[in-house]
Structure 1
């Protein structure tokens, strides 16, 4: 008995004392011992997978049971479940659930019938209606009884594998989740082909990276994956596209969600006012299709961001790679698991080849002895001999040939020879026997070579797996770096902000008549409040909050907002002098009170300008004996914008009677420079990525997608772009777009040039026939391309053609088909440096831009109607009032280089 048991054992005294064989155990002792046993059992036998083959015990027993029943045909799931109960003592429900999950992974099991839907969350049909069998992949990679270690089943009636000789990183391919006592595991699924490539990299000593690939697709940010270890995080988003101005379409959903749960989260967000939608429809069948129809006037771009911020359209997955290794739980990285799996696969292949070699050597030995036995006519010497004498005689006759054999002659060899029937002896063919032995020798040489070069053998094995089973297993989840969406910036304004200036209350829950309306807001916004004593504070919006009496201003505050400028005139509480200043409030500590002056200070004038406007005000002074001028004219434009706590510039030392607005101001802020962060395909004003230029007013961004869609977009930071768009730049209305595209219906290449009108709606400007694609696009003024032609039988090869697109075709309407590039078969289109172009200082003939636009439209219409241009028609250079900058992008792979007039040409 150990010390713990002694402490937890009590033996009563007296007449009722039990015999020595009886013990009373305290409940706390039972709990301690039995709970540890239970926890160990759950960890080892239920929840956590084994690193050697990647199976949990129930999964291993199901696969073993299906191998027992395997005959090439489908079996009822109910039959499989019943047969598996010989090995698994935990009931049919757990077996069927595990079997359905294995079948839905579409790797080890071929299914037939309604097996549910991982996209919608629909459950599988009853086991009597659905069928399953092992896949060819499973039969090739999982089983080999000759090298499998076995154990007795729970009832002692059957033998089951301790683990399979798995020759594939199944654990990483399927992924697994499990919750045990005190620990859990969550290994994310990975791509089939990428796992094989990584295994080959391990064998060849090359570095590799492994990232999850989810069966539901979606978009994932794996920057925090941490090799699948504890503490890692993967952000997964639904794939959402804009069908039109009022409809969004969800094509793929995040891992771990279903269309039902996703729709529920969207409806809840809509009920709470986080987003605003009109209706939602689920058309999911084999592929996801959720249609989200927006309410009138709602921005699709901001709604997409709001869906990511407030619904299950974005989820965060925390992996934790816990496996059983040597009968103990181990926390590893996925790269460690892959290396272990690859090394084990190498060992399993070596064992299989060794078994195969031993069998081939045995077959060669038997064939050689049989050939000698028959050709030396040893069987004719057995007359009047006993069995034992025949054995000894055979051994004696074959002993001279023993050095030529692969192994010494055994009693089993001799017994096998004596069991050969006379029919077989009479039909012996020496040439056929020689061919058989030669074939066995060739196989032995091949297997011996494979054993001698195991790394090469394993690489060939993995490549063969990829070739046979990897055709339709491309990556489903796109890897991308996500931007951080600030919920307050994308939340729909679902409530109204009110203020009770005299009472000092602010919030969205003030009753009717308690306060005045300020603005629309959301219930997660921050509110900034200025009081008459010169203090201000920022706090989370609440239904009703007391901030202090004599409120001068209350409004919604946005973090890092550099464009909202506060113009302030205040009287200092100590000196009594008046000061003025301009400042922005970009960062604060919530609920902290900030002061604009000393105690006793008072705000005399405050204006809040969302675009940095600077007005003019009149300051009226109190009349005094020696004061000649009682009115001061102040222009806030003369002041620089400084920090929120600076004292400011002196206005006057005399008492101020009142301050009045004299004239409204205009923005004093410079144009806003916008950058495109191509890692996340989002705009920013913080200098990340490629600068698109300085924007103000109604400037627009031009996007041209690979599908030939032309879009004019605002420079709002919430704007979304397609990830592979060849043109994203500041739109220049005087720059034509030059395109070369292939018409899939007419099997020809066409060239077109067109200008884009400010009112242009998103439109696909190339043929939409099957096979059509955009081959080249440029916003350079004078782009140039090189065209190479395919060699045709019986036709002399044609030299490459240099085409100056501005000379090849005039600017036409955006919907024009364009001119055929060449009647010959085009092989490749390569961008060349664009021609230099200098913008004229003044438009010709003193025409105004509007007149130029009118004339350009007339010219384009004339050419579209088939009329030849008049001699005095403006040239393409004359029609473009720009600096010649743009981008030319051929849609083929290559490198990028700077060209002619500062434009960019990229060969992907």
Structure 2
């Protein structure tokens, strides 16, 4: 290393040259190539490859202490035992290459493995078959030159995609997600046969995954992973599977942390995880289980996002790729490795065939006697060569000196016991094997496909997909967060916030909510919840703001300026720019709001208008119905109430919703209701309409069609509830051991009832919400008798309407094989008249301009 010094008045500058300028690049290259990033050729990082090589050298069919394996690996790996032990535990926990014994930790709970001296390991049968093949392995010297180690192991399987990999190097990182064993084999077969295929991750922790943005695992893609959460009882949730990258301890901590912050509300949590995950989350009474499930996904580790990064070492340099390209490369490499193995096998068979024929000729023709008189070694060789010459016409290659030397090594005992028939059988079997090997080489793709099928048959059992693929619904945090604080306001001074406890209480809210506020002078603002925020003096209304909420309607009467005319208008606020003041009454500073109401479902009340006595006005009081006013944008001017001064406005009568019924659909993919037209249309719902939900366990619910509700795919009925429409069910009564049919009406709204008896043997067999259903009943065939004819039943004639708790009429005491729904009898149902809105004409904007697009 050399140094150049420059001197100036301010001091000296030393330029560092020589090895310094290369050191960082050398270090970065070493970390990338030798430590952090796996090789595409075999799917191993160097430490993993050396562990597998050490296990193969130690393999005798019995378990080895991991401490012994680690020590043996240190002959090849120039690092400490801790890194080797950690890498070996990770391989063992993936349950593919290493057959483990002892406490190897638990990926579900996050518990670590026992010390290396206590646990044992050996290579799995799968690893012995797929990973090793010494005859086609390329070898190199170990770091100290004393041993040989493989450059790459001849892996005949997409191992890297099966196990996944993660590593952080210098300047880059890699994150390859694990995929399903059987699906990788199926994809390899599809590729070899020229068919398309798709690959998605599958995690040992199971869970639910959304792969809609996976993008083949390349850079820029992502997947979302969720825990599997089910409602076990009314106030009890159970987490049965966890997202990849978490464990039950970290998941439990995240739930407790969210509870402390007030994002969710739970009573207690229990972790009963052993072989399977079981985390019990107990809820306080009055807390919605569906909403809590969404909150767990929104505010805890029950949902996370994973961004894959497919970086691998290929041809001794890092490359970015995707899982489809990696699988194709693996399938091609497997085909090439199998070809090399077949070629070596063919050479060995040809060599065996050649010497078997030479041996037969040598012994059958008693050529060994020709060497009895020879006194020199060259004479022996020459005699054998001369004796063989007349008989070697059928051999496939020339006889070499080495062949003749090998013949001289045949023992006398073997010559004396030589059996010509057995020798001929051996040659014929070798011929068959050679033909078979040649056939495999000529049909290499089919041979490789059969190889993959063989792997799946022998090792694929028990390796079915664990992670369920599903499209996730987007959860808005503001809709599911627990209202963990209280909002107050000082109307006169114009302040609003959570710290104004001495002032007027407004509503419960959360710290991530937005608040909408209206003032007396016609100003509107949306702002974040804070401890104390100034809006403007004389607040007339404040509440939690719901983005894109078109059903909340604000009714307002205002005066545009002092002494000016009075206007009436109705509007909704679906989106605004946060912390921006909006003028709803024009730009005059003397504008004033005379009447204001916020209506969550578009209600339209009736008010009385009283004018001041002025001149010759004859009518000083009259009623106005807000239902006569069309709902417009917030910037609309509205309709003229009076050009004369208004004394006051009095509330007279509450009104009903003037909004049109909203169409609600059910999206079976995500198990949610929606108003965007996804899935099956359930009907047009008014504000008071309810949803009918019947479950296989016999629970019948009528409930508000809340978009936060979650429905499992096994429900029997999910539709708009008609209180006049009967529900018909056939059920098996466990105590009486008979089948009953009953029809009933649900007498009141928002109710949950069990239509079966509480006996554990009771079971719901059939349900219908048709007006006049018909059914056909099939009975099992009696032994030795003719089958009983199906029984047709007119449900309406069979039983009259009874109460929900009634037992019903006995349908059959015999065992029923199947209940079939027939075409229902005709029934004229009255059409429901749609709600109408009254059109308003001659409206104009308060500022004379059109409504502008919203930024929020």
Q: Same fold (TM over 0.5)?
A: yes
2-side partners of 1:149 and 1:599: how far apart? 87
Which one scores higher on RCO, CA 8 angstroms, separation ≥ 6?
2
Given that residues 710 and 765 in structure 1 are in contact (C-alpha distance below 8 angstroms), is that contact kept between their aligned partners in structure 2?
no
Query: For residues 54 and 557 of structure 1, do their structure 2 counterparts lie closer, same or farther at Cα, with a shift above 3 Å needed?
Result: same
Measured after TM superposition, the shift of residue 392 of structure 1 is 2.0
CA distance in 2, matches of 1:412, 1:787: 86
Cα offset, 1:163, TM superposition? 0.8
Q: Secondary structure at the match of 1:718?
A: coil
State how far apart, in whole Å, the 2-side matches of 1:361 and 1:576 are: 111
Instruction: Supply the distance in 2 between the matched residues of 1:428 and 1:320 (Cα, whole angstroms).
Output: 64
2:202 aligned to which of 213, 227, 230: 213
1:666-715 CA distances to partner (integer Å, 9 max, x unpaired)? Answer: 22223333211122110112322211113345544333445666554431
Structure 2 counterpart of 1:855: none
Residue 185 of structure 1 corresponds to: 174
Which residue number corresponds to residue 111 of structure 1?
Answer: 100
Secondary structure of the structure 2 residue equivalent to 1:613: coil
Q: Distance in 2 between matches of 1:805 and 1:366?
A: 87
Aligned counterpart for 2:146 among listed residues 131, 134, 157: 157
SS at match of 1:581: strand
Per-residue CA distance 1:347-379 (angstroms, 9 max, x = gap): 111111111111111111111111111111111
Aligned: 1:380 with 2:369: yes
1:630 aligns with 2:620: yes
Aligned residues of 1:142 and 1:165 also touching (Cα < 8 A)? yes
Which of 103, 111, 124 aligns to 1:122? It is: 111
- Aligned twin of 1:10: 4
567, 585, 592: which one pairs with 1:579?
A: 567
Residue 727 of structure 2 is matched in structure 1 by 736
Report matched runs for 1:17-416 at 5 Å: 26-27=15-16, 31-385=20-374, 386-416=376-406
Partners of 1:547 and 1:84 in 2: CA distance: 70
Question: CA separation of 1:664/1:781 partners in 2, compared to 1, >3 Å: closer, same or farther?
Answer: closer
Q: Distance in 1 between matches of 2:698 and 2:336?
A: 53
Q: Which residue of 2 aligns with 1:857?
A: none
Q: In 2, distance between residues paired with 1:448 and 1:756?
A: 77
TM score, norm. by length of structure 2: 0.90
C-alpha contact 1:707 1:764 (8 A) present in aligned 2: no
CA distance in 2, matches of 1:485, 1:206: 37
Q: 1:542 maps to which residue?
A: 530
1:836, CA displacement in angstroms? Answer: 3.4
Deviations 1:636-691 (CA, angstroms, capped at 9, x unpaired): 11111111111100111112222221222222223333211122110112322211
Q: 1:763 to 1:243 in 2, by over 3 A?
A: farther
Residue of structure 2 equivalent to 1:520: 508
Per-residue deviation, 1:309: 0.6
Q: Aligned ranges for residues 782-861 of structure 1 at < 5 Å?
A: 798=787, 801=790, 803-804=792-793, 806=795, 810=799, 826=817, 831=820, 833-839=822-828
Distance 2:452 2:789 in 1: 44
Distance in structure 2 (CA, Å) of the matches to 1:815 and 1:71: 72
Contact 2:775–2:795 (CA under 8 A) maintained in structure 1: no
CA 1:435–1:795: 2 relative to 1, 3 Å? farther
The answer as to 2:709 corresponding to 1:725 is: no
Aligned twin of 2:662: 672
Alignment of 1:455-604 (within 5 A): 455-510=445-500, 512-513=501-502, 515-573=503-561, 576-596=564-584, 597-600=586-589, 601-604=591-594
CA distance in 1, matches of 2:191, 2:567: 71
Distance 1:553 1:41, change over 3 A: same
Shift in Å, 1:573: 3.0
Distance 1:459 1:491, change over 3 A: same
**Separation of aligned partners in 2, 1:529 and 1:152:** 76
Asked whether 1:693 is paired with 2:687, we answer no
Asked if structure 2 preserves the Cα contact closer than 8 Å seen for 1:223 and 1:481, the reply is: yes
CA distance in 2, matches of 1:28, 1:632: 96
Q: Quick check: 1:780–1:834 contact (8 Å CA) kept in 2?
A: no
Q: Give the secondary structure class of the aligned counterpart of 2:110.
A: coil
After superposition, the Cα gap between the structure-2 partners of 1:818 and 1:337, relative to the gap in structure 1 and judged at 3 Å, is farther
In the other structure, the counterpart of 2:631 is 641
Give the number of aligned pairs: 819
Residue 765 of structure 1: how far off its partner (Å): 4.9
Q: Structure 1 pair 652/174, CA: closer, same or farther in 2 (3 Å)?
A: same
Aligned equivalents of 2:657 and 2:594: distance in 1? 22
Question: Which residue of structure 1 lines up, in the alignment, with residue 843 of structure 2?
Answer: none
Match of 1:434 among 413, 417, 424: 424
Map of 1:762-773 to 2, 5 A cutoff? 763=754, 765=756
Distance 1:370 1:725, change over 3 A: farther
Name the SS for the 1:665 alignment partner.
Answer: coil
TM-score by structure 1 length? 0.85
- Is the contact made by 1:65 and 1:84 (CA closer than 8 Å) also made in structure 2? yes
| 2:10 match | none
Are 1:712 and 1:762, in contact at CA under 8 Å, matched by a contact in 2? no
Rounded to whole Å, the distance in 2 between the matches of 1:717 and 1:839 is: 32
Tell me the distance in 1 between the aligned counterparts of 2:745 and 2:120: 59
In the alignment, is the contact (CA less than 8 A) between 1:786 and 1:800 conserved in 2? no
**Cα separation, 1, equivalents of 2:745 and 2:815:** 31
The CA distance in 1 between the partners of 2:117 and 2:418, in whole Å, is 54
Shift of the alpha carbon at 1:403?
Answer: 3.2
